[in-house]
Amino acid sequence: MQSPKPLENFEHKVTRFLQDGVPFLFIIDFDKTTKQVFTFEEAANENIFFNIKGNGNDGNLASSSLEKLNFDLKPTLVSEEIYNEAFSTVKHELKTGNSFLLNLTFPTALDTPLELKEIYQKAHAPYKLLYKDKFVVFSPECYLKIKEDNIFSYPMKGTINSNVPNAKELLLSNKKELYEHNTIVDLIRNDLSMIAKKVRVNKFRYVDKIKKGNQELLQTSTEIQGELPEHWKDEFATLLLKTLPAGSISGAPKKKTLEIISKAEITPRGFYTGIFGVFDGQQIDSAVSIRFIEKINDTLFYKSGGGITHLSEMEEEYHELLEKIYVPII
């Protein structure tokens, strides 16, 4: 009797698909303990659906009647006392120089009858993922993009409501936002320099518009580019894992900041702030798993957070948790 074939690991399967030109989806959690790769069909068979800028496997996802759905999520934040305890831990570490920037996140319970599939179908975002009946992502943030042996990253840091008078000028002149953005751009440049040559900033702090329900936010991003080694497909998975977790949702310096996050946050992040992406047969596009709703024991939790620096005020950061809880509805 033949013994069963051993399961192919993540790195080998990714390499095989890239070399054979087979389109695939990959999903990696925040601390890199869970790494998954599927053909588009395999993902659908596992009830994993995605759409990345029109490229996906959700064409046959059974449609729900979405017209009369109420998207009032009725969030209940963690108490200010619990948040302040974590915030104080982070501020102490910042003052002692162990971190310059740390992305502090919390889960927020939602009181809504909405199903994850309904949220997925109604949400409008360039990067969407529905993972079984466990979580849904509708992310605006590209992580890495690979096109013709060039690698690109687009860190996003800094938002403001577009209805605020002189919103663009206020956003671009905000010292805290500028400090955060500069720190993350430096971190991403360093991360890309581990796997690519001639890393450079093409566009610095350009302003994009993103949807927040019926409102519009302005967001600053930067485009960073590098050149990959000639045979990058042979080692793409290894190169990718070297850059993770994403700098924009961890902080700097990364190693020490990750230790502080594990001490300060009240629950493990799991797939939240990990990444997911696709190879379409030609190029790779991927996203940071933010704008994230997870089902835990039949309750939905929206996971959100923000960057903490020496300039951060507790009340403002606590309020920002709530500001980021929304579904960008079509």
Using a 10 angstrom Cβ sphere, with 0-12 exposed, 13-18 middle and 19 or more buried, the burial of residue 227 is middle
The dihedral through the CA atoms of 248, 252, 253, 254 has a sign that is negative
Mark the ranges of the chain whose per-residue pLDDT is less than 70.
1-7, 62-68, 213-214, 330
In a domain, 204, yes or no: yes
State the Cα–Cα distance between residues 330 and 323, nearest whole angstrom.
19
Q: Is residue 1 a part of any domain in this protein?
A: no
pLDDT (0 to 100) of residue 177: 87
**Angle separating helix axes 254-264 and 80-95, nearest 10 degrees:** 150
Q: Is residue 63 included in any domain, yes or no?
A: yes
CA–CA separation, 150 and 300 (whole Å): 39
How many Cβ atoms sit within 10 Å of the Cβ of residue 57? 21
Eight-state DSSP code of residue 232: G
pLDDT at residue 36, as a whole number:
98
For the CA atoms of the chain, what is the radius of gyration?
Answer: 20
248 lies in some domain: yes
Which residue from 303, 279, 329, 299 is spatially nearest to 21, judged by alpha carbons?
279
| pLDDT confidence of residue 75 | 95
Domain containing residue 179: 10-323
Point out which residues pair with 55 in neighbouring strands: 52
Q: How many domains does the chain have?
A: 1
Residue at 4 is within a domain: no
Instruction: Give me the CATH number covering residue 299.
Output: 3.60.120.10
**pLDDT value of residue 159:** 81
Q: Examine residue 2 and state whether it is found in any structural domain, yes or no.
A: no
Q: Calculate the CA 40 to chain-centre distance.
A: 21
In this predicted structure, what is the pLDDT of residue 8? 78
108 falls within a domain: yes
DSSP 329: B
Tokens of residue 259, six digits:
């230790």
Residue 307 lies in a domain: yes
